[in-house]
Amino acid sequence: DTGVSQNPRHKITKRGQNVTFRCDPISEHNRLYWYRQTLGQGPEFLTYFQNEAQLEKSRLLSDRFSAERPKGSFSTLEIQRTEQGDSAMYLCASGQGAGAPLHFGNGTRLTVT
Amino acid sequence: GENVEQHPSTLSVQEGDSAVIKCTYSDSASNYFPWYKQELGKRPQLIIDIRSNVGEKKDQRIAVTLNKTAKHFSLHITETQPEDSAVYFCAASKAGNQFYFGTGTSLTVIP
């Protein structure tokens, strides 16, 4: 068990560009969550999957954000036409089933210039 | 949706003293309440959790209490040490759905 892995660790992009992040959960975990965290704030929910099914997406989430988990293993989070307000740490977490504790990855820090 | 409030936002204690962080939640159906510790530049890590069928849980120097009637839960750290310095987040979840997090408490333990 190597824990939750996220790539890349850092991403700097120019406004208007598209970016994609990857998350590899703990192998036996069927739930995968994406959160966004800005300085001084708690993690803000974006979306989560059970296996390959996307069960919930935050109402606050712009349609520029999309996430996939095609085979129920790794997941990708894409942000299209990035804006400066998208700059944040994007955290992925996984869990074994409903109501199980979350195990977080180290995050991808996005900076939009 | 659920709303989790956390207080205080910053807390400084002398080494060896106790620290208490409080959270309130709005959805009475929430039934799982974990606490996470996040050191600077690192991932949040689970330190203790409690489910709604239990009023208190303890693990060495860390304890969590839950008052379902009042809809609040608290983290208690006794005999604090400098390595306890970090940001602590509470969270609430119901029926195995998403987790809602508090805004965090930055704890500083002064040697």
CB contact under 8 A, B101 and A44: yes
Which residues have C-beta within 8 Å of that of residue A2, sequence separation ≥ 6? none
Residue of A nearest to B34 (CA): A101
DSSP A87-110: -EEEEEEEESSTTPPPEE---EEE
CB contact under 8 A, A106 and B42: yes
pLDDT, one tens digit per residue, over B47-66 is 999 998 889 999 999 999 99
Round to whole Å and give the CA distance between A80 and B56: 45
Q: How far is CA A1 from CA A4, A5, A9, A26, A108, in A?
A: 9, 11, 20, 7, 20
What are the chain A neighbours of B34 within 8 Å (beta carbons)? 101-102
The H or E element spanning position A99 is none
Nearest CB to B43; choose among A55, A100, A104:
A104
Residue A1 has pLDDT above 60, yes or no: no
**Strand bridging mode A108-112 / A10-13:** parallel
pLDDT score at A60 = 76
Round to whole Å and give the CA distance between A68 and A72: 9
What are the chain A neighbours of B49 within 8 Å (beta carbons)? 101
CB contact under 8 A, A104 and B96: no
pLDDT, one tens digit per residue, over A50-102 is 999 999 999 878 899 999 999 889 999 999 999 999 999 999 999 998 888 99
